[in-house]
Amino acid sequence: MAPKTNGRVLFNSFPADYPVPGETVVHDTSQTIDIETHPLNGGLLVKTLVLSIDPYMRGRMSKPDKSYAARAPFAIGEPIVGFGIGVVVRSENSEVPAGKYIYGIAVPHQEYFVLADITGFIFLEKNPGLSWSVYLGAAGMPGKTAFAGWKEYSHAKKGEVAFVTTGAGMSHTCSVESLLNQSSHRTCRGVRAFPLLQIKYGLLTSSCRMVIQLAKQDGLKVIASAGSDEKVKFMREIGADVAFNYKSTDTREVLEREGPIDVYWDNVGGDVLDAALEHAAIHARFLVCGMISGYNIGYQGIRNLNLTYMKSLAIYGIAILRLGQYDEEFYTTIPRALAAGELKYSEDVKYGLDTVGEVLLAVQTGANTGKAVVVVAEE
């Protein structure tokens, strides 16, 4: 077979502010690959199918700085990397035959790539009722974060009250930060500084949508907040009993009227966390998944932690990396429920690597309407 173009999205320059399509990243078609003969050196040749575009990726476009929050920046001139799904088209690894579908955070934005080490990747079985894109959102890491976090930490009981925040929006940074820092967290007991990925702006997330639905399944009353009326409307459609726009409605007033809250799913931190502490019920559980309020302006001090012992509260930090024990249950139940329409999801799908630059910008400005995914190839 003749060599074919192997399109790539290369990291071209550090943006000053928002990523600029065609400047921050460029779509490059100068490389070719011969599928049949390209050397694998014992590895796999993978054809990229879908790529996840997430707000956290903005952090990887920033130069390392002297701040406490070290980053893991993309390399100039190299393909950017993110969550994605590919199919093995040729293999020199007898344990991973061609035809297998793989999912992981280290998928380069290029049409074909050689994978030497499958550590960190998992294999997926596709539900015929779902497209692969869904396996990056509700049936992927964001959905898993919600599912595993809720199962492990919510201790939810029927009749309780849950509060789910999405603030200016937020994209399961927790999981991503953890995944990227896997080695330092897992192996270095003495490690001091932890790399953080910074998010500039965010969106109503797949994990929030999933948490609202899981809470309703468990018989809780759900209070949810978001930053636009459209998002508030969607929250109501998927079951939130009380949904409000925190830009036009005071969070404390709502919690005073509708609370106190037994479970708090926190994507925001800052003053909203303080408000939630004020309106927590005795023995409430706080599931902290992210703190977007601090990503850009620095973390605001939380002043109400004395209420933890006044009210016997528990606060749990959620890192999906360390909740792998829920993967099997997740994949055997959630994709089926999504395919059957028992759980709702929302995605915003674009086609072709040449759209990545635009979508990277869209997820920073909030222009996308659902989980942002780029389809690179049909099977």
Per-residue DSSP letter, 38: S
Q: Rounded distance, CA 249 to CA 278, Å?
A: 17
| Interface with a copy of itself, residue 283, by CB under 8 A | yes
| Interface with a copy of itself, residue 158, by CB under 8 A | no
Residues of span 176-205 touching a copy of itself by CB under 8 A: 177-178, 181, 185-186, 189-192, 194, 196
Per-residue DSSP letter, 94: T
Query: Least CB distance from residue 313 to a copy of itself, whole Å?
Result: 5
| Interface with a copy of itself, residue 300, by CB under 8 A | yes
| Interface with a copy of itself, residue 305, by CB under 8 A | yes
| Interface with a copy of itself, residue 282, by CB under 8 A | yes
Q: Which two tokens stand for residue 262?
A: 């037994």
| Interface with a copy of itself, residue 307, by CB under 8 A | yes
Query: Least CB distance from residue 174 to a copy of itself, whole Å?
Result: 4
Q: Rounded distance, CA 293 to CA 315, Å?
A: 18
Residues of span 239-258 touching a copy of itself by CB under 8 A: 256
The count of residues in the chain is 379
Given the rule CB under 8 A, which of 109-117, 216-224, 310-318, 363-371 is the region that contacts a copy of itself? 310-318
CA 113 distance to own-chain centroid: 23
Which C-beta is closer to a copy of itself: that of 217 or that of 308? 308
Say if CB 226 and CB 262 are below 8 A apart: no
Say if CB 175 and CB 107 are below 8 A apart: no
| Interface with a copy of itself, residue 157, by CB under 8 A | no
R_g (Cα) of the chain, nearest Å: 21
| Interface with a copy of itself, residue 279, by CB under 8 A | yes
Residue type, 81: V
Q: Measuring CA to CA, which residue among 233, 171, 153 is closest to residue 208?
A: 171
Q: Are strands 44-52 and 112-115 parallel, antiparallel or unpaired?
A: antiparallel
Residue type, 149: G
Which C-beta is closer to a copy of itself: that of 233 or that of 283? 283
The count of residues interacting with a copy of itself (CB under 8 A) is: 50
| Interface with a copy of itself, residue 260, by CB under 8 A | yes
| Interface with a copy of itself, residue 309, by CB under 8 A | yes
Query: Least CB distance from residue 242 to a copy of itself, whole Å?
Result: 15
Which C-beta is closer to a copy of itself: that of 197 or that of 214? 197
Sort 183 into a burial class: Cβ within 10 Å, 0-12 / 13-18 / 19+.
Answer: exposed
C-alpha distances in angstroms, 107 versus 9, 151, 373, 376?
Answer: 12, 28, 13, 12
Residues making contact with a copy of itself (CB under 8 A): 174, 177-178, 181, 185-186, 189-192, 194, 196, 256, 259-260, 269, 273, 278-279, 281-283, 288-291, 294, 298-319, 322
